[in-house]
């Protein structure tokens, strides 16, 4: 290939790869598989090596990371990157609104945005080309981290208009990237990052851009430093302009007519934030009108037209009083910290998970220590670290026992596991926990038979295994504490009704190691009867999609136990169903249905079908019914009052049907 032909091809590859990057990292809707992108990228790398003069500063190859830097250069921000004032409760928000109203009158609105927990960055563009990126620093002077920011694929190296301006945003590490990074660091016996924010900051301050490139960082842009030359008159319009130019903005933003709507938005995200794929630590509230922002002005430290609502503190200090051990249904011994009661994220906690002996040793936890406790969407908080400087010398080391705290059997550590385990099949704690699991809503769904009832039944020797539940009489139940005639009758009816459950509930309920509810459904669909699954070979099971070798080995080992065969025979004698009752397994290969092999999401209120009826009918036609919209979704069925899932589908360009069209296609 000569230079002229190569130059033309390089330009073509720039356009192709930039479009692929935009679809994947900004729209979250790739049009080609990863292999196609990689093939084009390697073609471009080869051409640039052959003709170095064709390598441009906005080349997609810049994203893989270049030469190691000697140091970061200092950068002065033309417009200072000021911090925001904070609000910690509803009263603070109302006070902020009062000051705004006093200054500009009654006619105004706010824009609410999620406050991403990452590293604030500034991106400078000249004639549409990304030329410099910097950290916030002290707000006036930052550090030039252009080479590292170029590795973030959601940052466009060239925008769709030849504008010269500065944009601001937040670089962050998604939760999944953070989890994978710490797993890899643990395998290399390196120190773990404490949280995604620290990991993102550490990644962007690496002198080797290849390290930043390997960390899978992302960014949300939230503003333009100077909107004067853009014709934009409101903050919300500025965000829309960023979208049009090819930047990635956060789509969860909302324009609110008044402070009451702001508070509603704040309360909603206070509850929903654990479900986001990235960390947020608050909500940013800004007056929408740029003219009103200018009228409100600034203090020496922050703008008067914006405030950051900070979520309740999720890390607190308390004293670790003791360490208690519990035995799970699989025999795992789990240590739990007993704490001096403390408020964390709106609730009082007195217990925190310690997971296993290795964690206690790695964090150097002693009984009597003052510890930092974190609650990040979990029911039981976790101990983050110990405040060693507050030790008095009276703290006591903790050692895991050598024998089970329930049955005194010797504990073992199985190969490849960090947890100590009791392997006595008659351990009372394991039996009790197994019973609690069996009756749970996600398993056999025996209403009225919760943990307290199971504990009483076990203590009174009325049940020793799950089959004993089907032998219970009303007289036996009436002898339990707080169990009246009505409650006993309802419980017996629930036990009787559970006999009719489809196979997957029983499979999940009997507690096969590594088999969760989803895997139980997959196995039940594939084999249809308990007998067929019990006779299946390791190869039969491991070749099923989403199962794998570890789970297959666990299933085969489970059914090889004589006790299991006896238990299943006893359950069968009581009339417990052993057959799959759900929609049969249908694949795209053996069905001519429109839905075969497609991922469908249901949202909003359906008028004719219930949500479960629609799900069952779709699965019977070979569809996979998912709970959220993503780039892999083929179809969204939207009923009345459809909300964020419909908006997400429209944003990604996913096909949307109403219920009428769904029923029409189902009936074909």
439-458 per-position pLDDT tens digit: 998 899 999 898 899 999 99
Burial of 595 (0-12, 13-18, 19+ CB in 10 A): buried
Domains, the chain, in order of start with CATH, read 3-64 (1.10.287.610), 85-309 (3.30.470.30), 315-399 (2.40.50.140), 428-498 (1.10.150.20), 503-573 (1.10.150.20), 588-666 (3.40.50.10190)
119-160 per-position pLDDT tens digit: 999 999 998 999 999 998 878 888 899 999 999 999 999 998
Residue 62 has pLDDT above 90, yes or no: no
> Distance between CA atoms of 232 and 490, rounded to whole angstroms?
64
pLDDT for 376: 55
pLDDT for 569: 95
33-43 per-position pLDDT tens digit: 767 877 888 88
Average of pLDDT values for 641-656? 85
230-248 per-position pLDDT tens digit: 778 899 999 999 999 999 9
Residue 66 has pLDDT above 60, yes or no: no
DSSP 53-112: GG--TT-GGGGG--SPPS-PPEEE-SS--PPPEEE-SHHHHHHHHHHHHHHH-S---EEE
78-114 per-position pLDDT tens digit: 778 888 888 888 999 999 999 999 999 999 999 999 9
Is the C-alpha dihedral spanning 211, 216, 222, 224 positive or negative?
Answer: positive
| Phi, psi for residue 371 in degrees, rounded to 5 | -130, 155
Residue 184 has pLDDT above 70, yes or no: yes
> Distance between CA atoms of 251 and 550, rounded to whole angstroms?
39
Q: Which two tokens stand for residue 508?
A: 């999940």
> Distance between CA atoms of 619 and 634, rounded to whole angstroms?
14
Percent of the chain with pLDDT over 90: 41
Q: What is the 3-state secondary structure (H, E, C) of 144-194?
A: ECHHHHCCCCCCCCECCCCCCEEEEEEEECCHHHHHHHHHHHHHCCCCCCC
Residue 50 has pLDDT above 50, yes or no: yes
Residue 418 has pLDDT above 80, yes or no: no
- For 257-314, list the strands marked E by DSSP: 280-287, 306-310
Q: Would you say the pTM of this structure is higher than 0.85?
A: no
| Phi, psi for residue 611 in degrees, rounded to 5 | -60, -40
Instruction: Check if the beta carbon of residue 36 is closer than 8 Å to that of residue 70.
Output: no
Residue 65 has pLDDT above 60, yes or no: no
Find, among 287, 280, 223, 282, the residue nearest to 255 by Cα: 287
The H-or-E segment that residue 129 falls in is strand 129-135
Average of pLDDT values for 350-359? 86
pLDDT for 621: 83
Active site residue 251: no
Burial of 445 (0-12, 13-18, 19+ CB in 10 A): middle
Confidence label for 378 from pLDDT (cuts 50, 70 and 90): very low
pLDDT for 446: 94
Residue 514 has pLDDT above 90, yes or no: no
User: Mean pLDDT of all residues in the chain?
Assistant: 87
Q: Phi-psi bin for 226: left (phi > 0), alpha (psi -120 to 50), beta?
A: beta
Instruction: Check if the beta carbon of residue 253 is closer than 8 Å to that of residue 644.
Output: no
Instruction: Check if the beta carbon of residue 511 is closer than 8 Å to that of residue 329.
Output: yes
Residue 191 CA to chain centroid, in angstroms?
23
pLDDT for 196: 86
> Distance between CA atoms of 628 and 599, rounded to whole angstroms?
10
Find, among 622, 623, 632, 633, the residue nearest to 33 by Cα: 632
Angle, alpha carbons 135-136-137 (nearest 5°): 90
Query: Which has more pLDDT, 630 or 473?
Result: 473
Residue 408 has pLDDT above 50, yes or no: yes
Cα-based distances in Å from 501 to 532, 578, 612:
18, 9, 15
Q: Which two tokens stand for residue 298?
A: 């600034």
Residue 346 has pLDDT above 60, yes or no: no
Average of pLDDT values for 383-393? 92
| Phi, psi for residue 205 in degrees, rounded to 5 | -105, 25
Query: Which has more pLDDT, 569 or 345?
Result: 569
555-612 per-position pLDDT tens digit: 999 899 888 899 999 999 999 999 999 877 655 555 678 888 888 888 888 888 887 7
Percent of the chain with pLDDT over 70: 94
Sole residue written with tokens 């030790």: 391
> Distance between CA atoms of 485 and 152, rounded to whole angstroms?
65
Instruction: Among 18-27, 63-72, 267-276, name the one with the lowest average pLDDT.
Output: 63-72
Query: Which has more pLDDT, 598 or 533?
Result: 533
Average of pLDDT values for 25-36? 71
Confidence label for 546 from pLDDT (cuts 50, 70 and 90): low
Residue 67 has pLDDT above 70, yes or no: no
> Distance between CA atoms of 572 and 466, rounded to whole angstroms?
12
Q: Where are the alpha helices (DSSP H) in 479-561?
A: 485-498, 503-509, 517-527, 530-535, 538-542, 548-560
Active-site hit among 99, 115, 490, 521? 115
> Distance between CA atoms of 658 and 484, rounded to whole angstroms?
48
Residue 342 has pLDDT above 90, yes or no: no
- For 306-458, list the strands marked E by DSSP: 306-310, 315-327, 333-344, 347-353, 370-374, 382-386, 411-412, 421-422
Average of pLDDT values for 205-230? 85
pLDDT for 112: 97
Neighbours of 275 (CB within 10 A): 8
Q: Phi-psi bin for 155: left (phi > 0), alpha (psi -120 to 50), beta?
A: beta
Instruction: Among 379-388, 543-552, 584-593, name the one with the lowest average pLDDT.
Output: 584-593
> Distance between CA atoms of 288 and 648, rounded to whole angstroms?
24
Query: Which has more pLDDT, 310 or 111?
Result: 111
pLDDT for 26: 67
DSSP 456-474: HHHHTTS-SSGGGGGG--H
């Amino acid at each position: 290939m000569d230079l002229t032909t190569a130059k033309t091809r390089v330009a073509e590859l720039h356009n192709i790869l930039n479009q692929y990057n935009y679809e994947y990292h900004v729209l979250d809707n790739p049009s080609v598989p990863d292999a196609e992108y990689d093939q084009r990228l390697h073609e471009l790398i080869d051409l640039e090596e052959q003709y170095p003069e064709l390598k441009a500063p906005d080349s997609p190859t810049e994203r893989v990371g270049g030469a190691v830097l000697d140091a970061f250069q200092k950068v002065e921000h033309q417009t200072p990157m000021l911090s925001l004032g904070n609000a910690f409760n509803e009263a603070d928000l109302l006070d902020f609104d009062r000051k705004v109203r006093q200054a500009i009158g009654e006619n105004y609105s706010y824009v609410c945005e999620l406050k991403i927990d990452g590293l604030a960055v500034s991106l400078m563009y000249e004639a549409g080309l990304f030329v410099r990126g910097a950290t916030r620093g002290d707000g006036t002077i930052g550090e030039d981290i252009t080479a590292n920011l170029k590795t973030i694929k959601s940052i466009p190296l060239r925008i769709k208009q030849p504008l010269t301006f500065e944009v601001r945003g937040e670089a962050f590490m998604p939760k999944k990237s953070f989890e994978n990074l710490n797993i890899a660091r643990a395998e290399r016996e390196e120190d773990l990052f404490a949280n995604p924010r620290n990991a993102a900051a550490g990644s962007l301050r690496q002198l080797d851009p290849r390290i930043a490139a390997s960390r899978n960082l992302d960014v949300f842009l939230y503003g333009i430093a100077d909107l004067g030359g853009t014709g934009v008159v409101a903050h919300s319009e500025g965000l829309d302009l960023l979208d049009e130019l090819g930047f990635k903005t956060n789509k969860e933003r909302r324009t609110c007519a008044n402070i009451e709507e702001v508070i509603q938005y704040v309360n909603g995200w206070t509850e929903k934030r654990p479900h986001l794929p990235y960390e947020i630590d608050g909500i940013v509230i800004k007056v929408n009108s740029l003219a009103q922002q200018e009228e409100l002005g600034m203090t020496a430290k922050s703008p008067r037209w914006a405030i950051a609502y900070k979520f309740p503190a999720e890390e607190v200090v308390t004293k670790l009083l003791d360490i208690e051990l519990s035995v799970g249904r699989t025999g795992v011994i789990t240590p739990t910290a007993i704490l001096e009661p403390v408020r964390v994220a709106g609730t009082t906690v007195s217990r925190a998970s310690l997971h296993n002996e290795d964690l206690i040793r790695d964090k150097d936890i002693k009984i009597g220590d003052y510890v930092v406790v974190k609650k990040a969407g979990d029911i039981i908080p976790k101990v983050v670290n110990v405040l060693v400087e507050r030790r008095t010398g009276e703290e006591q080391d903790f050692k895991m026992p050598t024998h089970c705290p329930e049955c005194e059997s010797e504990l073992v550590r199985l190969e490849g596991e960090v947890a100590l385990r009791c392997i006595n099949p008659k351990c009372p704690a394991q039996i009790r926990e197994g019973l609690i699991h069996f009756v749970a809503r996600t398993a056999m769904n025996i209403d009225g038979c919760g943990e307290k009832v199971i504990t009483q039944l076990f203590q009174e020797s009325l049940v020793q295994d799950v089959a004993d539940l089907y032998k219970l009489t009303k007289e036996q139940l009436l002898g339990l504490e707080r169990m009246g005639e009505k409650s006993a009758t309802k419980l017996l009816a629930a036990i009787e009704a559970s006999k009719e459950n489809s196979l997957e509930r029983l499979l999940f309920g009997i507690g096969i190691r590594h088999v969760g509810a989803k895997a139980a459904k997959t196995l039940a669909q594939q084999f249809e009867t308990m007998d067929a699954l019990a006779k299946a070979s390791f190869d039969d099971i491991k070749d099923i999609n989403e199962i794998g070798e570890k789970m297959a080995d666990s299933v085969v080992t489970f059914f090889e136990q004589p006790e299991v065969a006896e238990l299943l025979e006893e359950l069968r004698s009581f009339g417990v169903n052993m057959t799959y009752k759900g929609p049969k397994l249908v694949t795209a290969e053996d069905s001519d249905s429109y839905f075969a092999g497609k991922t469908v999401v249901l949202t909003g209120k359906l008028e004719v079908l219930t949500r479960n009826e629609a799900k069952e009918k779709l699965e019977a036609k070979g569809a996979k019914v998912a709970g959220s919209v993503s780039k892999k979704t083929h179809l969204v069925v939207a009923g009345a009052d459809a909300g964020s899932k419909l908006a997400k589908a429209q944003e990604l360009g996913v096909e949307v049907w109403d219920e009428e069209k769904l029923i029409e296609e189902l009936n074909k």
